[in-house]
Structure 1
């Protein structure tokens, strides 16, 4: 801002709003323009402190410094602007200002005061009665006063016409002093903790036009609440907003008397009953939003016959049914129509064909069981948002939708057939999943803005077209549950610029190709997918190794599923470096080698997950846990912390560090070649619900800490070499199929097995005795042979010695035979007695 501006001493009007001054300070020289009446510096990217020299502008009537990065420690300079009638300091940091109420109260000429979102906390009253007798507009919303609204400093400002007090952490009831502000036209109490009904002394407020009570805690019947409105203002109120106020009860039948009403919103409450027919008499109504309530009953044309100006209708997520004859011609032209979860079908509503101005149409889960009429694609060709998902719509779509202006089309979970059409050129979000589309995908996917493409659970065949590689802005792609074949997308381009954003995959955050017949190696284009969070390649025919670059190139990965493929080689040693990974499933492959040991790096598994997906469309994901496959929504599966390495050829021991992953809910290492002991600290996995270590070569005792797993509902330790007593504990004894848990471990004893541990000790003692006898026999045999050859070699020279030697041997043989026979008989008898 040029300092030469100060030379314009006769300047009276200066407007520099909505510019970009690159966060520079407001020049002090502005304070020398003493003839200024009007100064507007709003939203111009100024920063720093407001210069106190602005107090020199004694002729100033209008001052607006809102929407900048400014602050003030002292506003005493305001007291010198005695002619100021309009002051707007919205978003100026005034958190360090003391006595601001007293300062502004001295501006007797003020008609408008806006101090919204200024960091104010104190509402101490002025030292004397306020001089703001001409104030018409007061906006102090967005400050954190955290106090009662009663007996506040502005309670005696009877000239107020507009009062904005939203988001100030007010609590308590709506003050009675409001009844003295007879000039009020606008009241905004939204986003506070106000309770109870409107005071009964508001009968003099006959000029009310706008009332906002959103996000308050009224917690009363909506009929009683609206009965508290001044009767004299029922014909003047234009806006009535009561969203999420814990309202109950029924809408008043006299609502049709509010003839000036243009905006009525009471969504996210617990309003019951039917919609009054009087609604149809509100000829000025442009917005009607009663969504997310408990309304029921039937809507007929009389509910809408008088709504000549209606543009926005939202009745979604109620139990309403529309019963309007097909030949009815509405008197309005809607722009937004939301009827999700209401009963609109089974026939597609014919009256919609006249709504050519609709921009946003939402008919999800409305009971439609019909063919989409041909006029649908003409009437709504200019709409940007079309949703008719979750119905029973059948038939095929037009072969070409490129004439459509739609940016969002949701037709998932229907019964549509035929081929996937050519896409609208402006499409951003497309969901055709869970239908019966067949045939190949369009050879040309010309949709340069496409960010979300969901075609899962259809019957699509052929290969993935190469044109998909042109969709460089794609964020979520789901082609799972089809009959696709051939290699995965060959979208890899060699480039020296590894951060290039014009590569396919650079914007992907979710990729699902599971349950197809896709082959080839791990997709190379995923080297660009640095933002990928969800990857599912399960149930295909991928081969080769899991790439070493996976942890480096996809550092944000949270879910990795490559189950039931033909991957081989080792688990990448740096895989535990994926700090956000909370779901890992590489089961049913040909993976070999050992489990990477630095598992402590898996930080997302070291805490109990509170992860919640925030996808544009809910995702249904198959999860294998507790010995079976279940289906979870994207909002739930994020809470699962899983490691599944089952049915591979892994060797070595289970790393002790696995006990650090205390967030695990499921661990499956079954059907490998793991050896050694179960980690003693396995009981640290306190949230574990499913543990499967079956079909390995694990040995040693079952750790007693296993009984500490109070969440455990599935356990399988069968077919290992485990031994010793089975730990006791109420959780382990409550598991199903008790014997199947431990079968195939002959060394185990104790409940629930029939073999008690005392029998096992006796058997071990017998085996030890037998081993001692065998050792005795072996020693005797060796000694006998050695002695025999020694004597034999000695006596070869003399015949008399030979005869004497063999006489001694015969006698010794007889004695040994008798001793062995008696010993064996005693041993056999002891074994029978112990078994009995």
Structure 2
């Protein structure tokens, strides 16, 4: 082992401390321990000082928060060519240092969220650097002038910092730059013609800044450019003007592969000028004000892999030519004004399609019951389409669903048994706002439906008993159905493993019986809505164990008794609605003392008696207070005038 020169244990699943015995491998040239989680850590890096022949070091995602010697040690390794310390929880860089990295060409310190307000000066002395990644940190202010010393850079990533200035003119002298990412900062001003000097650029990301105005025509002369990301800029231009700038003088036409212009305040129409970019594979125009129809000629963009036109004002019908885009993998058309019929022809050659999101368009799918789609989708969202009245049988061929949303689609039918066996990797299922009827399987969220996390079956006609849940379910919305019987089957059965449920909405059903006393098994609940059922008895004391509860709705049941004092343990409750029940006793003073973050308190239409407690005046965030239709006596506390949030609203 002493002769070992190359050691790669990256993403091997190890945990715990990095063994210092690695320092005995003194002939190592390459050491790669990078992980995808911070389960590996080192309390110091003294062992690393023995690896004097090391050229490549990658400790990305290894927790070095306690290794305060990381810089001093790595600075003693004279042969280092690459250092990768991304996501190591380093927190602070030394401000001044004499650096010995004479051979260093690649430095990656990304995703550490350094407390340093600016890039320390010693980095600017690394004249041999060709790659510098400082993304996902907290650097701010102007781009430091010292960076101009690193004129050999081919890769510069400053994404997701807080730089706040115009883009300095000296940056346009970096003629060797191939990759430049200044995205998600606060750079302002216009997009300069100076970018035409960066003739080696293949990737340019200026997204998420405060840059305004036109895309300069000179950008079209960057003949090596393959990817342009301008998302979130205030371009405020017609789409055809932007495409004209990028197509002049013309050397981009056969080079550009990815163009991201989402959220750029763009208007105008989709035009045939798009066809000039013959190798365009990724086009994102979402969240703009583009109108008009999708041109038939779009089907000639044979290289398209992803197309995002969501959240625009595109209207008319979906052209059948879209089905000729045989390389298409992801297609977003959601929330436009498309209408008309979509047929099997529209999907004829989309064999690679894995994501199709087109919700929010009143489209009608006409497919034969025997249709077998040519694709296998992982994500499908067709909310607001017309798919019914029969449950779509063509779904039977889809085996890879992670996300399925066919809400508001006019289905008036039962769910066939085969549906629950469709996918073993379901994550999210939304069948809400249809007229689906019948009973659910005995258990939801596990075999035969594995790993369901989000389940929304609300606003249907499901009946029968509530199902049992898998421990994996995070959100369950069965509200506005015809479920009947007790809720104990759902809440109190098979408690061998922890449950992750955060959202439980069962409102507006025909549920009856008492609220069971097993809430301690659901410690992650944030929102509970059982209103408008026929539940009776008292609020069980175990409901007070829900320390994360923010919203509790029990309105319009037949609940009675006094409010359990254990509820005062739910100290982050924002909304509590117990109206239209039969609760008795005094309004407890602990509501004002313990539920200090409450915004809504509704106790109306009960049988509370006694005086209104002055403690309620302590609820400084309270905007709605309903105590009407009770048997209260005495005077309204004068301190109610101090409920400033209520007055403001």
Where 1:249 maps in the other structure, the secondary structure is strand
Partner residue of 2:172 out of 108, 132, 155: 155
Q: Please, which moves more after superposition, 471-480 or 181-190?
A: 471-480
Post-superposition offset of 1:146: 1.0
Supply the distance in 1 between the matched residues of 2:234 and 2:158 (Cα, whole angstroms). 20
Written as runs of structure 1 = structure 2, the 5 A alignment for 1:616-627 is: none
Post-superposition offset of 1:5: 5.2
Say yes or no: does 1:210 pair with 2:231. Answer: no
String of CA shifts for 1:82-112, please: whole Å, max 9, x gaps. 33332323235665497746x4454443322
Cα distance 1:656–1:347, how it changes in 2: closer, same or farther (>3 A)? Answer: same
Q: Does the Cα contact within 8 Å between 1:174 and 1:195 map onto a contact in 2? A: yes
String of CA shifts for 1:461-516, please: whole Å, max 9, x gaps. 44446xx2x63444444444444444431578799xxxx7726xx54433344444
Say yes or no: does 1:673 pair with 2:635. Answer: no
Supply the distance in 1 between the matched residues of 2:111 and 2:604 (Cα, whole angstroms). 54
Q: Does the Cα contact within 8 Å between 2:93 and 2:120 map onto a contact in 1? A: no
Q: Which residue is 1:42 aligned to?
A: 60
Q: Does the Cα contact within 8 Å between 2:265 and 2:288 map onto a contact in 1? A: yes
Q: Does the Cα contact within 8 Å between 2:436 and 2:460 map onto a contact in 1? A: no
Cα distance 1:668–1:120, how it changes in 2: closer, same or farther (>3 A)? Answer: closer
Cα distance 1:473–1:98, how it changes in 2: closer, same or farther (>3 A)? Answer: closer
Q: Which residue is 1:740 aligned to?
A: none
Post-superposition offset of 1:187: 0.6
Say yes or no: does 1:110 pair with 2:129. Answer: yes
Post-superposition offset of 1:539: 4.0
More helix by share: 1
Supply the distance in 2 between the matched residues of 1:98 and 1:601 (Cα, whole angstroms). 45
Supply the distance in 1 between the matched residues of 2:201 and 2:165 (Cα, whole angstroms). 22
Partner residue of 2:94 out of 65, 73, 77: 73
Q: Please, which moves more after superposition, 539-548 or 213-222?
A: 539-548
Partner residue of 1:532 out of 515, 520, 525: 525
Supply the distance in 1 between the matched residues of 2:634 and 2:405 (Cα, whole angstroms). 56
Where 2:504 maps in the other structure, the secondary structure is strand
Supply the distance in 2 between the matched residues of 1:99 and 1:512 (Cα, whole angstroms). 49
Supply the distance in 2 between the matched residues of 1:579 and 1:679 (Cα, whole angstroms). 23
Q: Does the Cα contact within 8 Å between 1:31 and 1:55 map onto a contact in 2? A: no
Supply the distance in 1 between the matched residues of 2:489 and 2:326 (Cα, whole angstroms). 55
Where 2:74 maps in the other structure, the secondary structure is helix
String of CA shifts for 1:249-293, please: whole Å, max 9, x gaps. 223421011111111111111222222333222111110111111
Written as runs of structure 1 = structure 2, the 5 A alignment for 1:435-834 is: 447=449, 449-464=451-466, 468=468, 471-490=470-489, 502=497, 506-551=499-544, 553-573=545-565, 575-576=567-568, 578-601=570-593, 603-604=595-596, 609=599, 641-648=600-607, 650-661=608-619, 663-685=621-643
Q: Which residue is 2:139 aligned to?
A: 120
Say yes or no: does 1:249 pair with 2:268. Answer: yes
Q: Please, which moves more after superposition, 236-245 or 583-592?
A: 583-592
Cα distance 1:238–1:26, how it changes in 2: closer, same or farther (>3 A)? Answer: farther
Q: Which residue is 2:321 aligned to?
A: 302
Where 2:242 maps in the other structure, the secondary structure is helix
Partner residue of 1:24 out of 42, 52, 66: 42
Supply the distance in 1 between the matched residues of 2:24 and 2:625 (Cα, whole angstroms). 77
Q: Which residue is 1:224 aligned to?
A: 241
Q: Which residue is 1:390 aligned to?
A: 408
Structure 1 unaligned residues grouped into runs of 5+: 428-445, 610-640, 689-708, 712-836
Cα distance 1:93–1:4, how it changes in 2: closer, same or farther (>3 A)? Answer: same
Partner residue of 2:109 out of 74, 89, 98: 89
How many residue pairs were aligned? 622
Give the number of the structure with larger relative contact order, counting CA–CA contacts within 8 Å between residues 6 or more apart: 2
Supply the distance in 1 between the matched residues of 2:144 and 2:349 (Cα, whole angstroms). 53
Supply the distance in 2 between the matched residues of 1:17 and 1:513 (Cα, whole angstroms). 45
Q: Does the Cα contact within 8 Å between 2:435 and 2:460 map onto a contact in 1? A: no
Cα distance 1:112–1:369, how it changes in 2: closer, same or farther (>3 A)? Answer: same
Supply the distance in 2 between the matched residues of 1:514 and 1:13 (Cα, whole angstroms). 60
Q: Which residue is 1:144 aligned to?
A: 162
Q: Does the Cα contact within 8 Å between 1:236 and 1:260 map onto a contact in 2? A: yes
Supply the distance in 2 between the matched residues of 1:202 and 1:710 (Cα, whole angstroms). 51
Supply the distance in 1 between the matched residues of 2:566 and 2:82 (Cα, whole angstroms). 64
Q: Does the Cα contact within 8 Å between 1:74 and 1:98 map onto a contact in 2? A: no
Q: Does the Cα contact within 8 Å between 1:300 and 1:322 map onto a contact in 2? A: no
Partner residue of 1:190 out of 207, 214, 217: 207
Supply the distance in 1 between the matched residues of 2:153 and 2:387 (Cα, whole angstroms). 55
String of CA shifts for 1:18-54, please: whole Å, max 9, x gaps. 3978432553453454443333333333343433353
Written as runs of structure 1 = structure 2, the 5 A alignment for 1:383-422 is: 383-405=401-423, 407=426, 408-420=428-440
Bigger Rg, which one: 1
Alpha-carbon RMSD across the aligned residues, in angstroms, is 3.5
Supply the distance in 2 between the matched residues of 1:222 and 1:541 (Cα, whole angstroms). 57
Partner residue of 2:312 out of 293, 297, 301: 293
String of CA shifts for 1:644-677, please: whole Å, max 9, x gaps. 23142x3322333334445444444344333223
Where 1:169 maps in the other structure, the secondary structure is coil
Cα distance 1:90–1:652, how it changes in 2: closer, same or farther (>3 A)? Answer: closer
**Normalization by structure 1: what TM-score?**
0.67
Supply the distance in 1 between the matched residues of 2:584 and 2:537 (Cα, whole angstroms). 12
Post-superposition offset of 1:68: 1.7
Cα distance 1:316–1:652, how it changes in 2: closer, same or farther (>3 A)? Answer: same
Post-superposition offset of 1:157: 1.1
Where 1:155 maps in the other structure, the secondary structure is helix
Cα distance 1:50–1:285, how it changes in 2: closer, same or farther (>3 A)? Answer: same
Where 1:676 maps in the other structure, the secondary structure is coil
Cα distance 1:159–1:351, how it changes in 2: closer, same or farther (>3 A)? Answer: farther
Q: Which residue is 1:60 aligned to?
A: 80
